[in-house]
């Protein structure tokens, strides 16, 4: 496993592999790797001849009051997880190289970047789209892997990859959950035991929607009300039922629908979601996420 810090070196490594006729899978991350990331890496290794991981905590997607400084950095453990998954190269640039003096260029995915997480994090997706465009230029892969946990993010990246002609297929993988249902997140380490217990209401609320759907409920307002009731003990940021590609609010569950929730639990912001309909790359998860409910 090799580690590259410069975009030019990383790109050269990738182009050498491509010149050998090898396919490349890419897993962009902010490190603090958990089983969710590992599932992306294993799929990248399985479906491609070579797999590249990037580890970069992107300052451009954090607001000044957010957790950039205390975001978990676990480089040693990350290396071990990447090695075990079969990753062949890691791109780990420095922030000063990614954002040199007089940095001025930003990528934005209009409309899709509005709503949901943009309410509390207005500049978040601008930072995400920009850094992923940079990472895609350093790692000219055939396929890139993102988790459904960040569903708005993966819709934005998918649209950006198509619109800007990156020629990279975006693969969205199912949410990986703890045994009790909590969606895995690098931020879960912030939770106190009491908060950890309260946080379970996010996934519980989403799983209950499945039951409501089974008895034929398709009305967004009623579903959102049921979710809101279940999440009474956390500080709800949003509960949104939207078109899964366009992120536009929907009144009824028809077509590809994303039900996404965000809440503050103590000082930690958590997100979770579930998708309905014959949606893109996501596969059924027996533990409850990415459920494909026939309509």
Query: Catalytic positions, please?
Result: 37
Is residue 165 within the footprint of a second copy (CB under 8 A)? Answer: yes
| Angstrom distance (rounded) from CA 30 to CA 56 | 5
Instruction: Name which position in 5, 80, 94, 163 contacts a second copy (CB under 8 A).
Output: 163
Q: Which stretch binds a second copy (CB under 8 A): 50-58, 159-167, 201-209, 285-293?
A: 159-167
Is residue 249 within the footprint of a second copy (CB under 8 A)? Answer: no
**Which of residues 122 and 167 has its CB atom nearest to a second copy in the complex?**
167
Is residue 101 within the footprint of a second copy (CB under 8 A)? Answer: no
C-alpha pair distances (Å), 281 with each of 93, 129, 151, 167: 29, 20, 12, 17
What radius of gyration, in Å, describes the C-alpha atoms of the chain? Answer: 19
Q: Compute how many other C-beta atoms are within 10 angstroms of the C-beta atom of residue 17.
A: 20
Site map 19..48 versus a second copy, x via CB under 8 A: x-----------------------------
Q: Which stretch binds a second copy (CB under 8 A): 39-47, 103-111, 205-213, 254-262?
A: 103-111
Is residue 198 within the footprint of a second copy (CB under 8 A)? Answer: no
Sorted by sequence, the CB contacts under 8 Å of residue 45 that are 6+ apart come out as 25, 51, 85, 86, 87
| Angstrom distance (rounded) from CA 40 to CA 47 | 11
- Which residue in 126, 146, 133, 157 sits closest to 60, CA to CA? 126
Helix or strand run (H / E) with residue 279: none
**Which of residues 137 and 233 has its CB atom nearest to a second copy in the complex?**
137
Query: What are the backbone angles phi and psi of residue 51, rounded to the nearest 5°?
Result: -130, 135
- Kindly report the length of the chain: 295
State the minimum distance, in angstroms, from the CB of residue 162 to a second copy: 7
Instruction: Name which position in 32, 89, 138, 151 contacts a second copy (CB under 8 A).
Output: 138
Interacting residues with a second copy (CB under 8 A) = 7-8, 11, 15, 18-19, 100, 102-112, 129-130, 133-134, 137-138, 140, 159-160, 162-167, 245-246
């Amino acid at each position: 496993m090799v580690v590259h810090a410069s975009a030019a070196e990383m790109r050269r490594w990738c182009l050498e592999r491509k010149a050998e006729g090898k396919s490349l899978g890419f897993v962009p991350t902010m490190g603090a790797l958990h089983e969710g990331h590992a599932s992306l890496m294993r799929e990248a290794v399985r479906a491609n001849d070579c797999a590249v991981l990037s580890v970069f905590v992107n300052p451009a997607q954090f607001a000044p009051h957010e957790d950039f400084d205390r975001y978990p950095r676990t480089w040693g453990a990350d290396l071990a997880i990447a090695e075990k998954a079969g990753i062949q190269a890691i791109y780990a640039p420095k922030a000063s190289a990614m954002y040199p003096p007089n940095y001025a260029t930003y990528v934005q995915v209009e409309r899709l970047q509005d709503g949901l997480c943009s309410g509390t994090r207005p500049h978040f997706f601008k930072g995400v789209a920009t850094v992923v465009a940079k990472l895609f230029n350093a790692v000219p892969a055939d396929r890139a892997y993102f988790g459904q946990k960040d569903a708005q993010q993966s819709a934005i990246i998918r649209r950006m990859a198509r619109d800007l002609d990156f020629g990279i297929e975006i693969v969205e993988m199912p949410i990986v959950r703890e045994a009790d249902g909590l969606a895995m997140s690098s931020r879960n380490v912030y939770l106190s035991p009491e908060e950890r217990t309260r946080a379970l209401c996010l996934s519980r609320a989403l799983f209950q929607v499945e039951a409501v759907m089974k008895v034929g409920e398709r009305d967004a307002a009623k579903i959102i009300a049921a979710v809101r009731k279940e999440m009474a003990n956390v500080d709800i940021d949003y509960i949104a039922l939207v078109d899964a590609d366009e992120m536009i609010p929907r009144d009824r569950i028809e077509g590809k629908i994303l039900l996404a929730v965000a809440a503050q639990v103590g000082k930690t912001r958590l997100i979770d979601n579930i998708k309905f309909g014959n949606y893109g790359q996501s596969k059924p998860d027996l533990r409850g996420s990415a459920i494909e409910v026939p309509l």
